[in-house]
Amino acid sequence: MLDIQIIRDNPEKVIEKSRQKGYDVAEAVKRLLEVDVERRGGLTQVEELRAQRNELSSQMKGSKPSPEQLELGKALKESITELEERLKPLEAEFETLLKIIPNMPLDSVPVGLTEEENVVIRSHAAQPTFDFEPRNHWEIAEMRGWIDKDRAAKIAGARFAYLKGDLVRLEMALWMYGVDVLTDEEQLQNIIIANGLDGVSAKAFTPVIPPAVARTEVFQATGRLNKEDQTYKLEDEDLWLNASAEHTMAPMYMNEILPEAELPIRLVGYTTAFRREAGTYGKDTEGIFRLHQFNKLEMESFGTKETSLNEHLFMVAIQEYLMASLGLPFRVLEKCTADIGRPNAKGVDIDTWMPGQQQYRETHTADYITDYQARPMKTRVRRSDGVTELVHTNDATVFSERPLIAIVENFQTADGHVVVPEVLRPYMGGRQQI
């Protein structure tokens, strides 16, 4: 959530900056400020009464309370209870509205109302040419027995899959490769230098396998439970299945104050992600592009306000480095105001060319979140001068299963085999083709 002070001081700026689709930010800000005034008025009254109660109480502590004092105490108690009851719904509405208001995009974020208005900022590698008609990944998978969705449907329903055979080995190779790069400070340093990100720490990411579920309270604090219909809830438990390792890594240091010397804390988490994909009926029904369950390797980091923007750029640089090293054709997009998530002040996507589908498809995202998540999570840093302040969080995809699709489609051979990218061969027993 945003700092209420910022909204009070610059409501028009918050509104102007937050052009989002789906709901009316201006209306929410207007109502929030009304509620804020009412709430503060009530709060002042309650606090005055409490002060009287505390005063009376300290008078009574030495001797036996007189009947008059007890009488006054009872009257105060009633007034306080009554005022508190009136305040409760205001506080609740205040909290709800505050959570609805999205983060303020940086000035550099392009203004747009749909994802069509995202701006391509870089392109890497030419689209490959084939002397045969390139197939979809599901056609290749069919030929090779790599994906079985029919039996998965029997077991779990639509949008689930059994991945099989060499496709599974390729996926595992991808995880290993990603973790190896992210834990190698020399390679990280090279990425920093190559991208002119001087001053960015080359500290290695710590590999993490997080819980795949989180409590309601925790999930809400991350700002990622906005669309409850997209997230699976465990029946009879106060638990939700995570839709990314980000959801269970970001709140890891909830209610903690971290020493500045420990920052940046960098994590690379592997988990299975679950998404209900409500409202996508009929979309991407073929193959494994859009499943209810998939695996993903994700970066998460905790830093300070001075370092977070470069940390974001660093994460994007890592993504580009990884994708380029695989030899995949992809482009980098600066997301427009409508396409960045509510907690974001900026966001970058990577779309990768899928020759079997003759289009670029989203494979990665990188979120610049500032202190928006840290505020409700109460994750803070004690600076070297002793001051505590909110940390800044960043997250970004390393690999999901979508790059797997890109590898299969881009490096396919005429007879339905796939050339293994060189950097993955050490993890595939040296095999050049599967």
Partner RNA sequence: GGAAGGGUGUCCGAGCGGUUUAAGGAAACGGUCUUGAAAACCGUCGUGCCGGCAACGGUACCGUGGGUUCGAAUCCCACCCCUUCCGCCA
Residues that bind RNA (CB under 7 A): 4, 40, 43-44, 47-48, 50-51, 53-58, 60-61, 65, 69-70, 73-74, 76-77, 257, 382, 386, 388
Token pair for 230: 């997209």
What φ, ψ does residue 59 adopt, rounded to 5°?
Answer: -65, -35
Min separation Cβ 212 and RNA, Å: 13
Tokens 């409501």 sit at which residue? Answer: 11
Residues 376 and 225: their CA atoms lie apart, in Å, by 13
Tokens 């960098």 sit at which residue? Answer: 266
Min separation Cβ 239 and RNA, Å: 9
What φ, ψ does residue 355 adopt, rounded to 5°?
Answer: -60, -30
Min separation Cβ 273 and RNA, Å: 20
Min separation Cβ 91 and RNA, Å: 10
Pick between residue 43 and residue 106 the one whose CB is nearest to RNA.
Answer: 43
Residue 246: CB atoms within 10 A of its CB come to: 29
Token pair for 250: 């970001």
Pick between residue 61 and residue 283 the one whose CB is nearest to RNA.
Answer: 61
Token pair for 206: 């710590």
Residue 372 near residue 409 (C-beta atoms within 8 A): no
Pick between residue 108 and residue 384 the one whose CB is nearest to RNA.
Answer: 384
Residue 82 near residue 45 (C-beta atoms within 8 A): no
Task: Tell me the angle at which helices 308-326 and 166-182 cross, rounded to the nearest 10 degrees.
Answer: 140
Pick between residue 28 and residue 407 the one whose CB is nearest to RNA.
Answer: 28
Q: Of all helices (H) and strands (E), which one includes residue 332? A: strand 330-334
Residues 289 and 285: their CA atoms lie apart, in Å, by 8
Min separation Cβ 4 and RNA, Å: 6
Pick between residue 158 and residue 257 the one whose CB is nearest to RNA.
Answer: 257
Helix (H, G, I), strand (E, B) or coil at 327: coil
Pick between residue 73 and residue 110 the one whose CB is nearest to RNA.
Answer: 73
CA distances from 98 to 32, 362, 379, 392 (A): 7, 30, 18, 19
Residues 43 and 287: their CA atoms lie apart, in Å, by 56
Min separation Cβ 234 and RNA, Å: 12
CA distances from 410 to 179, 226, 364 (A): 23, 36, 17
Min separation Cβ 324 and RNA, Å: 38
Torsion angle, CA of 317/318/323/324, rounded to 10 degrees? 60
Pick between residue 139 and residue 389 the one whose CB is nearest to RNA.
Answer: 389
Tokens 């109660």 sit at which residue? Answer: 53
Pick between residue 205 and residue 219 the one whose CB is nearest to RNA.
Answer: 219
Residues 165 and 140: their CA atoms lie apart, in Å, by 13
Helix (H, G, I), strand (E, B) or coil at 14: helix
Alpha carbon of residue 300 to chain centroid:
9
Pick between residue 346 and residue 380 the one whose CB is nearest to RNA.
Answer: 380
Min separation Cβ 289 and RNA, Å: 31
Pick between residue 213 and residue 318 the one whose CB is nearest to RNA.
Answer: 213
Token pair for 44: 């002042």
Min separation Cβ 253 and RNA, Å: 11
3-state helix, strand, coil in the chain (%, to 5): 45, 20, 35
Min separation Cβ 69 and RNA, Å: 7
Min separation Cβ 86 and RNA, Å: 14
Pick between residue 58 and residue 108 the one whose CB is nearest to RNA.
Answer: 58
